A and B are shown apart, each in its own frame.
Chain A
Amino acid sequence: MNKQFQHSTAWKISWLFVFIACISLFFADIEITTLEPWAELKKLFLAMFSSHWLNTLDIGKALLQTISFAILGVAGGSVIGFLLALIFHWRWIRVICALVRAVHELFWALIFLQIFGLHPLTGILAIGLPYAATFAKIYAEILEEGDKAVLQSIKQKTNSVSVFFYARLPDLWIHFKTYTLYRFECGMRSSTILGFVGLPTLGYTLSSAFMEGQYTQVWALLFLFYAVIATMRYWVKPALLPIYLVIAPFAIANDSTISFDNIHRFFTEDIIPAPIRNGENWNSLWAWLSDLMATQALPGVINTLVLTQIALVVTAVLALLMFPIISTHFFKRAGRSIGHITLVTIRSTPEYILAFILLILWGPSMLPAIIALALHNAAIIGHLIGRYSEEIKLSLNATRGINRYFYELLPRLYGQFLAFLFYRWEIILRESAILGILGITTLGFYIDSAIQELHLDKAMILILITALLNVIVDALSCYLRKKLKLKTAVQCS
């Protein structure tokens, strides 16, 4: 018998995360360093209403390339991912996939830029490779969960390929299709931000428009991006896929060629740690490595974790504030549709673009990154929780307003909320790392600098550390979800 009131484990773990975030705040640099941050922001918003000359040809080309990279990357990734899913029970396949997944598309792009330069293959592989690893995992889960009863009723002698196409695929097809289409939306975002490292997609046009202060052009690009995402279900159809696959390679073709010397040099020289390459002794290798760890890896890891933990808690708070605006328990239809539009807009904006804009307006600090990560992820979790809340049936005498929120709904959906949040944890970490490319001193900053200085050996080690950090956080999130007995029904990235 418990005489004393005790809070639940979920409550205690939540406060532990808040506590860690508060400590992280001491290490975080969250200043606004530009002199007139609000004036520039005002200019940006006013530009939305001004009619200005738009470079439509540039925009059209960038859009076509964005879609083409996304289609080729996601299609290639799904085919390879499917083949990998069939052998996913091999442990080393799972380990390799986990590591490949843990490296963000932008880092892959930075690597492939060194190997293939601006050849289209860079963009296709940067998306295709990590997506294949993700597809492998999810497809394997789908195959695992499918109904195997049909299988047993078929004659043993039938060859396994026919069995698969007759007994398994028809039932599972819808799951594969839904998930692959969902990933295509993610692929559009990935493809867009590849522009920030130099590929000719919307991100490139957007960043140059922004640098030149052509804010009207920035808005045009953003609205175009929303429109393309919002209308996806009308133009992304399996029947149209062959046509797209034929057009896409022509859309992204350029005159750069693959240099085999480059590839050879990358693997045999560039990424070999400098002391080994120069034939120095073990001591100098050790000195090289410890210097890298102390001056780059360690501060990078600390800053990445600091940003992740703060962004995670801000995301949590925002998501809990956002979900009621789309929930039938709080708003009528009209109110909810405004809520839906708000959440869709926020979550469609790639966090990288959001961070990019805020960084230029406010100067380099963690604040823009925190806000960008929190807004994007909170909109996703808010949407999922809001939808989940529809499943809760309240009785006739349930209270209203704030009492309803805290007494009736929050206790009922908090477990699900934590499950979604912990699922996003690893994703927020991966994003925190890449936001370094924009100048915040997370791991991405050190990786990007190492590449700029042509220290690819250092960059590779830092990327590997980033991947390991991701794998660790993923394992921790898995452990917490199991401990709290949480289930995620939705896979998301």
Chain B
Amino acid sequence: MIQLQSEAAHYQGVKTLHDIDLHIKQGEKLALLGKSGSGKSTLLKLIYERYPNNTALVPQDYGLVKHLSVYHNVFMGRLDQHTTWFNLINLIRPWKDQVSAVQLILSRLQLKDQLFQPVGKLSGGQQQRVAIARSLFQQGQLLLADEPVSSIDKEQSKLVLSQLRNSFPTMILAMHDTQLALDFCDRIIGLKKGKILFDQPSSSLTANELQTLFK
């Protein structure tokens, strides 16, 4: 499904990825691990630019519009599936069926009370879940998520990750928490200074081993 061969990427003139060889098959759940600056985000961006069709992206800064309601932010996941008129009217007067569809997703993420709150009024963790809700509403063959649970507590992280796992056939998550990565992904890729350090099934790794790998 995804084929990258000796790829490199630059960010603001500095080479941030080197010699990336990566083959990802349909159905794989993959975690990218590595310190900040190791190239996780750049790799996700690179994959998104190569395979934008039918791909949901949860960027690190969420890409939310703070002055719009939670409902509208989630709805934005499907803007390209409707006519412009449909979208514009929806801004002024939300469509009932869309509201109930969004509400369904929000209740899965414990956000249903916030439906018509402006996103700017939510806490950081709630905002992150709105970004997740948008990707769930959008659907697709592939999910690319950059630290999707960085602001959420452990219990809710598990809930969110299992929702994502069930909703997307293939997913690539940039992760910080090694244990969560091992629990919810089948394949772990370690990045260091823009290069792939290791690429192994999670069954062959433990959290302790991973910690030492990045020392």
* A residues whose Cβ falls under 8 Å from a Cβ of B: 1-6, 8, 393-399, 401-403, 406-408, 411-412, 414-415
Contacts and interface: CB of A to CB of B under 8 A. Distances in A.
Interface string B54-88: 00110101110111110110001001100010011
Interface residues of B, number: 32
Contacts of A2: 115-117
Contacts of A1: 113
Contact of A397 (B59, B84, B88, B118): B59
Nearest to B92: A7
Contacts of A3: 115-116
Contact of B61 (A6, A395, A415): A395
Contacts of B213: none
Contacts of A395: 57, 59, 61-63
Contacts, number: 66
Contacts of B87: 402-403, 406-407
Nearest to B63: A395
Given A2-B117, A403-B87, A397 B48 contact: yes
B169 interface: no
A3 B88 CA distance: 21
Given A5-B94, A407-B91, A399 B68 contact: no
B71 A5 contact: yes
B94 to A, nearest CB: 5
Chain A facing B: main interface SS:
loop
Nearest to A403: B79
Contacts of B63: 394-395, 397-398
A5 B59 contact: no
Contacts of B99: 5
Contact of B67 (A4, A399, A414): A414
Contacts of A6: 116
A399 B80 contact: yes
Given A411-B65, A411-B68, 12 more contacts: A1-B113, A2-B116, A8-B67, A8-B118, A395-B57, A395-B61, A395-B62, A397-B63, A402-B84, A407-B76, A407-B91, A408-B65
Contact of B91 (A396, A397, A406, A412): A406
A394 B52 CA distance: 16
